A and B are shown apart, each in its own frame.
Chain A
Amino acid sequence: MLIADLRTAVRDHLDDDATAWLDRALTEAATTPRWEADFAAAARHCRRSHHPELADATRILLLHTARPDMPTLTRLYAHGTAAERRAVLLALAHLEDVGPDALPLVEDALRTNDTRLVAAAVGPYAARHLDAHGWRQAVLKCLFTGVPLDVVADWPARARGDAELARILTDYARERTASGRDFPADLTRVLAHTTPEEP
Chain B
Amino acid sequence: MYVAGVRALVEPSFWLGQPRTSPASFYDYFDALLGWEPFRAAQHGIAHHCTLALNPKEANDPRCLPVLDELPRYLVKDGVVAVGEIGYDAMTPAEDTALSAQLQLAADHGLPALVHTPHRDKAAGLARTLDVVHESALPTDRVLLDHLNETTVRAATDSGCWLGFSIYPDTKMDPDRMVRVLREYASERDRILVNSAADWGRSDPLKTRHVGEAMLAAGFTDDDVDQVLWRNPVAFYGLSGRLDLDVEDTTPQATHEGNSILRGAPVTTATRATEEGR
Contact = CB atoms under 8 A, between A and B. Distances in A.
Contacts of A10: 261
Interface stretch (A16-24, A45-53, A97-105, A166-174): A45-53
Contacts of A6: 261-262, 264
Interface string B228-255: 0000000000000110101011111111
Contacts of A5: 264
Contact of B253 (A56, A57, A148): A148
A83 interface: yes
B261 A82 contact: no
A53 B259 contact: yes
Contact of B78 (A44, A119, A148): A44
Nearest to B38: A82
A43 B81 CA distance: 13
A9 interface: yes
B173 to A, nearest CB: 33
A81 interface: yes
Interface string A107-119: 0000011111011
A116 B263 contact: no
A40 B78 contact: yes
Contact of B262 (A53, A81, A82, A147): A53
Prevailing SS type, chain B contact patch: loop
A114 B246 CA distance: 18
A143 to B, nearest CB: 12
A63 to B, nearest CB: 13
B254 A148 contact: yes
Contacts of A118: 252
B35 A57 contact: no
Interface residues of B, number: 34
B124 interface: no
**For B39, B78, B79, B256, which residue has the most chain A Cβ atoms within 10 angstroms?**
B78
B2 interface: no
A39 to B, nearest CB: 9
Given A9-B261, A13-B267, A81-B35, A37 B78 contact: no
A79 interface: yes
A4 B249 CA distance: 27
B278 interface: yes
Contact of B250 (A9, A83, A115): A115
Contacts of B246: 50
Nearest to B271: A51
Given A6-B261, A43-B244, A116-B39, A49 B275 contact: yes
A116 B78 contact: no
B263 A1 contact: yes
Given A52-B248, A81-B34, A114 B39 contact: yes
A151 interface: yes
Contacts of B264: 1, 5-6, 9
A79 B260 CA distance: 28
A44 B242 contact: yes
B167 to A, nearest CB: 30
Contact of A53 (B31, B241, B261): B261
Nearest to A145: B252
Contacts of B155: none
A101 B76 CA distance: 28
A184 interface: no
24 contacts: A1-B262, A9-B261, A9-B267, A10-B261, A37-B76, A40-B77, A41-B78, A44-B244, A47-B244, A50-B278, A53-B258, A53-B261, A81-B31, A81-B77, A81-B79, A90-B262, A113-B36, A114-B35, A114-B36, A115-B251, A116-B252, A119-B252, A148-B253, A151-B254
Given A1-B264, A40-B76, 5 more contacts: A12-B267, A13-B261, A47-B244, A56-B262, A81-B31
Interface of A: 1, 5-6, 9-10, 12-13, 37, 40-44, 47, 49-57, 60, 79, 81-83, 85, 90, 112-116, 118-119, 146-151
Nearest first, the 9 closest Cβ-Cβ pairs linking A and B are: A150-B254, A52-B258, A1-B264, A81-B34, A82-B35, A148-B254, A43-B78, A53-B258, A40-B76
